[in-house]
Structure 1
Amino acid sequence: MASKGPDFVTPIRRVLIALLAIVLIALFLFWRIDSPRAERMRTAMIDRAVPSFEWALAPVTQVSQMISGFQSYARIYQQNQELRRELQKMQAWKEAAVQLEQENSKLLALNNVRIDPTLTSVTGVVMVDSGSAFRQSVLLNVGSRDGIIEGWATMDGLGLVGRIAGVGQRTSRVVLLTDPSSRIPVTVQPSGERALLTGDNTALPLLDFIETPDNVRPGDRVVTSGDGGVFPPGLIAGQVVQGSDGRIRLRMAADYGRLEFLRVLRSHPAETVVDVGAIIVSDDRSFIGPQMPTSPVDAAQAAPALSTGTGND
Structure 2
Amino acid sequence: MARKGPDYATPVRRILVSLLVLALLSIFLFWQIDSPRAERMRSAFIDRFVPSFEWVTMPVTKLSRMVAGFQSYARLYEQNQELRRELQKMSAWKEAAVQLEQENAKLLAQNNVRIDPALTSVSGVVMTDSGTAFRQSVLLNVGARDGILDGWATMDGLGLVGRISGVGQTTSRVMLLTDPSSRMPVTILPSGQHALLTGDNTALPALDFIESPENIRPGDRVVSSGDGGVFPAGLLVGQVALASDGRLRVRLAADYGRLEFLRVLRSHPAERLADTGLLIPPPPADFIGPPMPPAMNLDTPNPAAANPELAAEPDPAGAADD
TM-score scaled to structure 2, two decimals? 0.75
Q: Distance in 2 between matches of 1:20 and 1:88?
A: 70
| Residue aligned with 2:184, SS | strand
Do the aligned residues in 2 keep the contact of 1:222 with 1:236 (CA within 8 Å)? yes
What's the counterpart of residue 194 of structure 2? 194
What's the counterpart of residue 286 of structure 2? 287
Aligned length: 273
- Match runs of 1:72-83 below 5 Å: 72-83=72-83
Do the aligned residues in 2 keep the contact of 1:239 with 1:250 (CA within 8 Å)? yes
What's the counterpart of residue 113 of structure 1? 113
In the TM superposition, residue 120 of structure 1 has moved relative to its aligned partner by 1.3
- Match runs of 1:17-28 below 5 Å: 26-27=19-20
Larger Rg: 2
Q: Distance in 2 between matches of 1:116 and 1:223?
A: 13
What's the counterpart of residue 126 of structure 1? 126
1:241 equivalent to 2:241? Answer: yes
What's the counterpart of residue 221 of structure 1? 221
Q: Deviations over 1:183-215 (max 9, x none)?
A: 111112122222211111112211222233332
**CA spacing shift, 1:102–1:30, aligned 2, 3 Å:** same
In the TM superposition, residue 38 of structure 1 has moved relative to its aligned partner by 5.2
What's the counterpart of residue 173 of structure 1? 173
**CA spacing shift, 1:24–1:279, aligned 2, 3 Å:** farther
Q: Distance in 2 between matches of 1:221 and 1:24?
A: 111
**CA spacing shift, 1:134–1:71, aligned 2, 3 Å:** same
**CA spacing shift, 1:173–1:35, aligned 2, 3 Å:** closer
Q: Distance in 2 between matches of 1:21 and 1:63?
A: 36
Q: Distance in 1 between matches of 2:57 and 2:212?
A: 97
Which stretch of the first structure deviates more once superposed, 25-34 or 178-187? 25-34
Do the aligned residues in 2 keep the contact of 1:186 with 1:197 (CA within 8 Å)? yes
In the TM superposition, residue 145 of structure 1 has moved relative to its aligned partner by 2.2
Q: Of the candidates 11, 30, 39, which is equivalent to residue 37 of structure 1?
A: 30
What's the counterpart of residue 158 of structure 1? 158
**CA spacing shift, 1:99–1:113, aligned 2, 3 Å:** same
What's the counterpart of residue 315 of structure 2? none
Q: Which aligned runs of 4 or more in structure 1 are off by greater than 4 angstroms?
A: 18-29, 38-46
Q: Distance in 2 between matches of 1:130 and 1:145?
A: 21
TM-score scaled to structure 1, two decimals? 0.77
Q: Percent identity?
A: 71
Letter in 1 for 2:182: S
Aligned-pair Cα RMSD in Å: 2.9
In the TM superposition, residue 42 of structure 1 has moved relative to its aligned partner by 7.1
In the TM superposition, residue 223 of structure 1 has moved relative to its aligned partner by 0.8
What's the counterpart of residue 256 of structure 1? 256
Q: Distance in 1 between matches of 2:16 and 2:220?
A: 106
Q: Deviations over 1:148-200 (max 9, x none)?
A: 11111100111100001111122111000111111111112122222211111
| Residue aligned with 1:229, SS | coil
Q: Deviations over 1:46-68 (max 9, x none)?
A: 43233224345444433332222
Letter in 2 for 1:48: R
Where structure 2 has 5 or more consecutive residues not aligned to the other structure, the ranges are 1-8, 33-37, 289-322
**CA spacing shift, 1:25–1:79, aligned 2, 3 Å:** farther
| Residue aligned with 1:90, SS | helix
Q: Deviations over 1:219-257 (max 9, x none)?
A: 221111112222111101112222343322222111112
Where structure 1 has 5 or more consecutive residues not aligned to the other structure, the ranges are 1-14, 290-313
Letter in 2 for 1:253: A
